[in-house]
Amino acid sequence: MEPIILRPEQDAAGTRADIWLASQIEGLSRSAAARLLEEGRVTCGGRTLAKNVRLNGTETLEADLPEPEPIDTQPQDIPLDVVYEDGDIIVVNKPKGLVVHPAPGHPDGTLVNALLYHCGGSLSGIGGALRPGIVHRIDRNTSGLIIAAKNDFAHQGLAAQLQDHTLSRIYECIVTGSPREDAGTVNAPIGRSPKDRKKMAVVTGGRPAVTHWRVLQRLNGGTHMQCRLETGRTHQIRVHMAYIGRPVLGDTVYGAKKPVPGLQGQCLHAEGLCFRHPRTGEAVELHCGLPAEFQAQLRKMTP
């Protein structure tokens, strides 16, 4: 497998190599990134890097990824709403409630199990045995478009677009209340909450996170908004909207603790994806309609 070339930006200065590497190759856990460094698979100017070395933001790194691990997650015949598919990639409209990959408490019944069945085992191995094909993730109770790679070539190409912010992810949500402005940008770093390690928060020293938002419709008691991710941190939209005082409707983690009748979790939908096809270089733009419960909530709140 050809090495991946990675070039940290200035905002990566001071970040540990294993943490930064995990943030750049979606599906690569921090422990897996540390293992790559320990095995001498990541070099800078021909020299191997230690996992705890801190970057200065000017390096050019080469990551020599190992051959794919054998996939031990079992295929399962779970229906998929396939929006786009070819020999390299597959894009699925994920329903709410479907977990993306196996994890403690969710050993099967996930999107990965469904993809293994649908694709006949043809998925990239960069994400490891539990996350084959997964290039980026969306939360269990967030619906919408998610892209998976069928081979490592496609995975590397899409991961590079995530790194340079050319893979555009567009969401729609309903937030509580109404912002004064019609559009804005939240540029606030995100990391683990010091008060609750199960949650994310805007924290000093967190990883850079940028969300662009605009109002689509002002509602009774809320606002229908579009959010475009420039970065892709865990729970980014949910954290950023709560940070500006407009938590996503139904988000019982970062907003009101009481669920909203008729909503399963947060009212957040990954509506659009725009990227360059990793093999052909052609622009691909995909969209999917709002789920029924999102539309029903809009009708309830429309003036």
- What is the b/e burial string over 24-48, where b = at least 16 CB atoms within 10 angstroms of the residue's CB? bbbbbeeebbbebbeeebbbbeeee
Residues 139 and 253 in one domain: no
Determine the pLDDT at residue 167.
95
Cα 135 from Cα 184, distance rounded (Å): 28
| Residues 246-269, mean pLDDT to the nearest whole number | 94
Q: Which of 289, 284, 293, 302 is nearest to 91 (CA)?
A: 284
* Residue 67 binned pLDDT confidence (cut-offs 50, 70, 90): low
Tell me the residue range of the domain where 264 lies: 168-270+293-301
- What is the tally of structural domains in the chain? 3
47 vs 245: CA distance, rounded Å: 47
Domain end point (choices 117, 149, 164): 164
Higher pLDDT, 47 or 224: 224
Active-site residue (options: 139, 182, 196, 251): 139
The answer on 45 and 90 residing in a single domain is no
Are 297 and 185 contained in the same domain? yes
Work out the pLDDT band at 27, boundaries 50, 70, 90.
low
Question: Closest Cα to residue 89, out of 24, 156, 35?
Answer: 156
Give the end of a domain, one of 164, 195, 230. Answer: 164
Residue 287 lies in a domain: no
Does one domain contain both 176 and 246?
yes
Q: Evaluate whether 138 touches 236 at the Cβ level (below 8 Å).
A: no
Compute the distance between CA of residue 139 and CA of residue 98 in angstroms, rounded to an integer.
9
Whole-model pTM above 0.75? yes
| 58-72, 235-249, 267-281: range with lowest mean pLDDT | 58-72
Q: Which residues contact 5 (CB under 8 A, 6 or more apart)?
A: 60, 61, 62
Residue 105: CA count within 13 A, CB half-sphere = 4
Residue 139 is among the residues annotated as catalytic for this protein: yes
Q: Is the pLDDT of residue 138 over 80?
A: yes
Q: Across the strands, what pairs with 62?
A: 5, 43
What is the percent of the chain where pLDDT is above 90?
Answer: 57
Q: Residue 52 has what pLDDT? A: 85
Q: What is the pLDDT at residue 137? A: 87
Computed on alpha carbons and rounded to an integer, the radius of gyration of the chain in Å comes to: 19
Q: Are residues 111 and 147 part of one domain? A: yes
Average per-residue pLDDT for the chain: 89
Whole-number pLDDT of residue 128: 59
What is the token pair recorded at 155? Answer: 């995975």
